[in-house]
Structure formats: C-alpha cells, structure tokens
Amino acid sequence: MNSFLKQLPQLAKDKHNENRKYFKKLKSKPPKNLDYVMQQLHDEEFSRTDCLQCANCCKTTGPLFTNADIERISKHLKLKPQQFIEQYLRIDEDNDYVLQNVPCPFLGHDHYCLIYEVRPKACREYPHTDRKKFHQITNLTLKNTSICPAAYNIVEEMKKRIPK
C-alpha cells in the first residue's frame, strides 16, 4: 500500500486528462444502470482494500463538518459546540467548517478513528464512489483519485466496465 500511495499523485496526474474526457462523456449521457454498476465497483474494491492500511484521506485532507456533525461530536467529547469549533475547526474558502490541521487530530497511530461512532458524515461516505447519481460528482472524484487508492482503482475499472 505504501509504495502505491507514494506513486498515486503522479499516477492520477498522468490519467487526469483521460479521466476528465471520460467523465465529460459520462455526464452527457449517463447509463441507466450507473448506480448499480458503481455500487458493484465500490463493493469489489473495498473487499480488497483495507482502509486501516491506508488512512491517506485522514492524513492529507480531512472532511467538512456539518452542524449536525459538530453537535454530535462535541457532545461525544463533552465539549460545547463552540469549544469544539475553536479547538479543531476553521472556515474554508467555501464557507464550510474544516479541520484546522491535517493529519486529522482524531486519527490514532494504528489508523483507527478515535471518534469512529460519531465521525463526520463526509468521513462515513468518503470516497463517495457508491453515491447515487455518481456522474454529478465527477470533479470531486477526479480530485479524489490523487488521494484515495480505492477511488483511483474504481475509476480505472469503471472505464473498462462502462466504455465511452
């Protein structure tokens, strides 16, 4: 996993134009069974990929935090929401709450999430490759192929299963 993670930014860069063109075609005419195929690709990939061997998303990007996330996590940590915000979060250029620093302060040394049961929705859903109407998040997915080895593999497999 480590050597793949090291190569990933360059691999994703090499595929960027090809993937961008592919997604453009996909968006113009998404297949009717897209959700079904994406769920299959996602499940197949995550039956092979162990996130505990990776944690690259937690190390390099971190999620955005919704108000519901902030309420839930601060309650779990026995902090007031405002205290939690001041201690861990900042507002980014899109006006979203994000982590002040990465790696995420809730990432344990063994790659376990210290707040797993109450983690942000964005963490639960990352890398969003089983999301309904996947063709609507192709820009985000392009970005994620340089961060998440599973997202990279899923897009590579997707081009074979749904040729354009």
In the complex with ligand SF4, the residue whose CB is nearer, 2 or 28, is 2
Q: Does 129 bind ligand SF4 (CB under 6 A)?
A: no
Q: Quick one: which of 141, 137, 143 has its CA closest to 154?
A: 141
Range in contact with ligand SF4 (rule: CB under 6 A) among 8-16, 28-36, 115-123, 128-136:
115-123
Binding mask 61-90 for ligand SF4 (x = CB under 6 A): -xx---------------------------
| Among 55, 89, 142, 154, interactor with ligand SF4 by CB under 6 A | 55
Size of the site for ligand SF4 (CB under 6 A): 23
| Among 54, 70, 98, 142, interactor with ligand SF4 by CB under 6 A | 54
Positions in the binding site for ligand SF4 (CB under 6 A): 49, 51, 54-58, 62-63, 104, 106-107, 113, 115, 119-120, 123, 126-127, 147-150
